[in-house]
Structure 1
Amino acid sequence: MSADLDQNPSPADIAERERENQERKAREDAEQAQLPYKWTQTIRDVEVTAPIPSNIKGRDLDVVLAKNKIRVAIKGQEPLIEGDFPHAILVDESSWTLETTPTPPGKEITIHLDKVNKVEWWPHVVTTAPKIDVTKITPENSSLSDLDGPTRAMVEKMMYDQRQKEMGGPSSDEQRKMELLKKFQAEHPEMDFSNAKMG
């Protein structure tokens, strides 16, 4: 009986979960707003931008992009970003540029980080920064269609499993096991499966 309740949450449970999600999102947004940079990601890469005083030139910057760490600073000042990545990057495919911004007038450093693992969302740019909840990321369909077949299938499976988990349903692997067990039961009616455990 209790299993049915878990799979069919009441309107009050759904409202409570939605309220908790909104509070978590507001907290997450506030934490991210405190960072000296802004960042976005796709399944393939991470884009980081940070405002820089307009009198600064590229040679005044100290930028280090390594496989597992980053440092972005104006020479002689505290770093804007420094620390270890949560996952490795492809250094040769990653880059940075310093551009003039019209509004507000000034400059901005843009850092492009190419992920090694193209099926992993990053919870933060550096491990010392506050995390975002990667389970709430919904990639655009256009980004999914850019992926090659096996990668796209894996991402779609991960998204399906995440949705099933949120609704209290079985993951695709659990469904496959149940289907195999049903098929085996049909082929072997003489066997007793009453105490069979899924695992």
Structure 2
Amino acid sequence: MANDPERFDTMLLAMAQQHEGGVKDLLHTIVSFLSRKTDFFTGGKDGEWEKVVKDTFYAHATKAKEAADKIKKEKEEEAKRLKDIQAKKEKERLEQDFEPAKVVELTEQEADKLQADIDMEKNKTKEVGSGDGGESSTEADKPAEEEEDDDPKEKGKLKPNAGNGCDLEHYRWTQTLEEVELRVPLRQVLRPRDLTVVISKKHLKVGIKGQPLIIDGELDAEIKMEESTWVLQDGRNLLVNLEKVNKMNWWSRLVTTDPEISTKKINPEPSKLSDLDGETRGLVEKMMYDQRQKEMGLPTSDEQKKQDVLKKFMEQHPEMDFSKCKFN
């Protein structure tokens, strides 16, 4: 305790606050005290007081420099860590954007079966369109996207951007099943300390200090705060990465005040399927397959199963006449 200089901090701070000239005036007061009230300058050998002052000041200057260097090094390491995280995520994004299409080769049996299914579906469409009370060919050929738009729940919802998110006036967000990426162009060169970024479990605040917040709202779902980060790129672009808690659901909006996107029109990136567990991957692949089938005017996986069951039944009962039957 006797050698602890910090025990005088409160008293010295009080003294420092009374010296408007700063450190220089404070030192003047302390040296004046030593001169008037002690024999510091006259009680020792010639030049001894100079050596004491020099040794004392250099010792504390060295400690102060070491502490400042340590803080600087920690800041540089943190900046490098964030830069590495951003570089990794940017690399993943570019790999997703430029991943070549995968070609699946079919065997001759599979190709014959696919062609037979296509022919059967075409014949079925003609039969339905030609009978009394049946759907007209125009209605039967109605694109799947228009059918989705007829769903009252989808009215007014926006189509997702290329990253399965939304491009808004002041920012753009994209998503995978694991995370949400937010990009905010700042239109001016800023420093990190000029920004307000507050990430909580279910709320997000983003803005420039001294100006109205750009984002201040409740998130569409909960996130993992400890795994969510933000970084300022080139002083002009703010990048925020939010790690989802529920990795099975797509977000329909970033915050609840944003317009909603149609999650039915989301197209998962194939490069991300390998990251999912078996059950989730199966569900996503089924959804993607059904979406492609709809776009081609072909039956979905569930419809195909029904047709296969019906075909097998018809083969087992050739004595029955199904030519005039209509199946939905």
Q: TM-score, structure 2 length as denominator?
A: 0.42
Q: After superposition, what is the alpha-carbon deviation per residue over 1:176-199, rounded to whole angstroms, capped at 9, x for unaligned?
A: 9xx8xxxxxxxxxxxxxxxxxxxx
The 1:161/1:45 distance shift into structure 2, 3 A limit, reads same
2:249 counterpart residue number: 120
Aligned to 1:70: 204
Cα distance in structure 2, aligned partners of 1:132 and 1:155: 18
Shift of 1:159: 4.6
Contact 1:7/1:169 (<8 A) preserved: no
- Partner residue, 2:17: none
More helix by share: 2
Is 1:89 matched up with 2:218?
A: no
Once superposed, what is the RMSD of the aligned Cα atoms?
A: 4.2
Structure 1 residue 43: Cα displacement: 1.3
Q: Judging by fraction of residues, say which structure has more strand.
A: 1
Matched-pair contact (CA < 8 Å) for 2:167–2:173: no
**Post-superposition CA distance 1:96-136 (Å, at most 9, x none):** 00011xxxxx6100000111111111111101101111100
Q: 1:117-158, CA deviations, whole angstroms, 9 ceiling, x for partnerless residues?
A: 111111111011011111001112111122122331233345
Answer yes or no: is the 8 Å Cα contact 2:204–2:216 preserved in 1: yes
Q: Which residue identity lines up with residue 70 of structure 1 in the other structure?
A: L
Matched, 1:152 2:281: yes
Report the CA distance between 1:40 and its aligned residue: 0.9
Q: Secondary structure at the match of 2:142?
A: helix
Kept in 2: contact 1:95–1:113 (CA 8 A): yes
Cα distance, 1:86 vs. partner? 1.0
Q: How many percent of aligned residue pairs carry the same amino acid?
A: 42
SS at match of 2:273: helix
Q: 1:65 to 1:9 in 2, by over 3 A?
A: farther
Matched, 1:55 2:184: no
Is the Cα contact below 8 Å between 1:7 and 1:168 reproduced in 2? no
Number of residue-to-residue matches in the alignment: 171
Q: What is aligned with 1:137?
A: 266
| Equivalent residue, structure 2, for 1:191 | none
Which whole-Å deviations, capped at 9, do the CAs of 1:33-73 have from their partners, x for residues lacking one? 44310111111111000012433210111111111110001
Structure 1 residues 154 and 56 mapped into 2: Cα distance closer, same or farther (>3 Å)? same
Is the Cα–Cα contact under 8 Å of residues 165 and 171 in structure 1 kept in the other structure? Answer: no
User: Unmatched 5+ residue regions in structure 2?
Assistant: 1-127, 310-328
Rounded Cα–Cα distance in structure 1 between residues aligned with 2:145 and 2:278: 38
Q: Is the 1:47–1:112 Cα contact (8 Å) retained in structure 2?
A: yes
